[in-house]
Structure 1
């Protein structure tokens, strides 16, 4: 794959082509489109988006399986043209363990059963498969879920130059998006298309302009409160949206994740509506850089919340997107300062020794139920895990140090062997 295929221009063109296929599927099958916030939102324009979900984009990669199904294992019949026999068998054998993992999340299964009155039947579609007719999707005996792969992994669409088409162009956005979000990508589609037809420099310049403009779409201005708590997640655009804020109760604590000099003290007070809040400015950059620094700044949040006197404080956490850093901070707060009954712990925290990966995963799963468009990056979640489970992080650092020590030892050994070989070659008169 040449460098031009990996350019942001090629990514945009490939995403737009794949989005046309997704839109076509939604209309042909007459099904609502739900995007995976980890990467799927790039392929769905807002007018076609019914809702969002969240799962790791690596869950379905070969030898990294995390599939679940409400059907009996014997009923799992993936198509031969999408999965190899080995992968299908691996998925079947993994399902019982996955069901056990799901039970540990303490999901409200009785409630889900009232919503899913019929069994689920998945169908698998990619651009190389023929779309089933709506008659074939009988909904009398089961709920149909179309698992859709937007990209053509085998060949470029007929409307795309094969030399520039990039399958999965929306994957790993941290590595190429320059902090542009899917919502901004679709809102500013005309200007991005114009720039993409010009030059890479024009694309970069356009993105730089876009990300400096706060998102003001209805979706970006709609805050989400985690069920049974007063812990709210939103975007920094909320700080300058008085009409939206008038509908909210004043906040006791406001946590601003991003380093945003454009937010004035008066705008922070506007959020609190006359109540002097405890304002915590974390000063984080967008993207991986901010996510990695997050673990070093979470102590500011913990220290401030330890002093809160309200029995159930109203806490607002914001970041530029309302989907990444703010979600990570809210997750950390929920794990540390709320007990199993979701009561706020005043003057203390849940002991970190009691916080496990399963506990964090359970809370994240519940959080995404309250905020379906949550999309914390891998780096953000790593920072949260490192802060909440310092012993595990310390063990990881020890393993890294041990590995680095082994590398250095190997280098030193190779160096000595090289010096010995050099002396031998010079002594024997050989030419090197």
Structure 2
């Protein structure tokens, strides 16, 4: 058999090697820590998902950020209200700035999330504040767009600038609260190629902005990989797309078992990761955290990952009812002639032990069938359950695997159906007139309190269909 001498095939094989990836991440960590040491008073925040590999939890602030690169892609620029990241403003105000960490793959120095999405975010918020607070001194309030000139062309910068006011107006007209910042936001960029770091005045009399320091963690590599004397090939942006190379490893496990993983040999590493991944199926108690309540409705409804609730959530959260939405394992039908034999596994289940009525569980299969099930079964059953529990003074926790999508859809339907414009519970939802704008505002309530919430278009479509379409017209 002829040996494959294709150099590109060899480069790809090296780039997906988990040993190379983990040791490349470790090299980049040193740079991120140097940056943080230069600004020790500024919170260190990973830009999810990639940035989580490069920020030590012992240093990082427990606040998520999600600036998506696609919102900065050429001709697709956007300030997405579903990813508003406005929760960061309180952190920035309290600490007079933040450090955002991300990375990008070979060929680029700065990811689009940091070079364009974050600058758009800063400029839009600055402009929106000037619209909402007319007493802001326009001569001293800088709401211009700033992008790194070596990464973003002057033509692209100009095209983005022309849309800032449009996005700012949409933000101003939304239901989001905009705190009045003492100074405008201003992005700055640091990469391993930086010869010096920016300096900021800490004197309130001379300060002119609140810095958002964007750190691109990885060294730029033009030819894919670089050999290291430590016996590995350096891969730029190794933390990106860990589903392709991680073999089931996630940032949380990496940080928990960092020494063990980095000391393992290349040959032993896959088996070690497999063992850690299987042991990690049951969450460690230190990862169990409280659900995120939605403040606009006095935290009557909260969102959580299933893994964050622990095994017995009712023991730590009394006076609470739970809706648990999980993904069912897909198995082959017992009868080839009847592909719907899995239907029983997706029916809602109320547990029969004491406190049975306090828990409603769903198992959802993948595929198009799950969309109909979500619309016709999950949402209606959940709404009846939620209304009943709220009327008896109980709070609700809705949990799904990610706390981003399906659970958010159930919460959105419930808040739209049973809470008025002031966030007050209305039993049965009587006299509440729903529109797309009403539902959109309720989604903004959720995002403001639960930043990781990011429901898919399909989930939002099902919620709108349930609330705004006559039952006989629903698909």
The alignment's TM-score, normalised by the length of structure 1, stands at 0.69
- Counterpart of 2:422 in structure 1 is 341
Aligned-pair CA distance for 1:95 = 1.1
Query: How far is 1:231 from its partner?
Result: 1.0
Asked if the contact 1:353–1:389 (Cα under 8 Å) also holds between the matched residues in 2, the reply is no
Matched, 1:146 2:213: yes
Match of 2:193 in 1: 128
Retained in 2: the 8 A contact 1:25–1:131?
no
Inter-partner Cα distance in structure 2 for 1:368 and 1:47:
26
From the superposition, tell whether residues 168 and 291 of structure 1 become closer, same or farther in structure 2 (CA, over 3 Å): farther
- Corresponding residue to 1:231 among 301, 308, 325: 301
Equivalent residue, structure 2, for 1:118: 183
Q: Select the residue among 34, 42, 64 that pairs with 1:24.
A: 34
Alignment match, 1:256: 324
Partner of 1:371: 450
CA 1:276–1:297 in 2, change beyond 3 Å: closer, same or farther?
Answer: same
Which position in structure 1 is the counterpart of 2:48?
A: 37
Contact 1:215 1:237 in 2 (8 A): no
Runs of at least 5 residues in structure 1 that lack an aligned partner in the other structure: 262-267, 395-432
Given that 1:238 and 1:245 are in contact with CA atoms closer than 8 Å, whether structure 2 keeps it comes out as no
Rounded Cα–Cα distance in structure 2 between residues aligned with 1:168 and 1:324: 27
Cα RMSD for the two superposed structures: 4.1
Give the 3-state SS of the residue equivalent to 2:163 in structure 1. Answer: helix
Q: 1:49 aligns with which of 40, 60, 63?
A: 60
Contact between 1:39 and 1:171, CA under 8 Å: does it hold in 2? yes
Structure with greater helix share of residues: 1
Tell me if structure 1 keeps the 8 A contact 2:25–2:239: yes
1:328 Cα deviation from its structure 2 partner: 5.1
**Cα offset, 1:146, TM superposition:** 0.6
Residue 151 to residue 88, structure 1, CA distance change in 2 (3 Å): farther
2:462 is aligned with 1:387: yes
Deviations 1:78-103 (A, max 9, x none): 23223222222222122112212212
CA apart distance, 1:33: 0.9
**1:149-201 superposed Cα distances (whole Å, 9 cap, x missing partner):** 22334458988589944433333455555665432332233344355732674
Q: CA deviation at 1:234?
A: 2.6
Match of residue 3 from structure 1: 12
Written as runs of structure 1 = structure 2, the 5 A alignment for 1:58-77 is 58-66=70-78, 67-68=120-121, 69=123, 70=126, 75-77=144-146
TM-score (norm 2): 0.64
For the Cα contact (< 8 Å) 2:289–2:309, is it kept in 1? Answer: no
- Aligned to 2:162, what secondary structure does the other structure show? helix
Change (3 A) 1:196 1:231: farther
Equivalent pairs, count: 367
Tell me if structure 1 keeps the 8 A contact 2:289–2:308: yes
* 352 and 12 in structure 1: CA distance in 2 versus 1, 3 angstrom threshold: farther
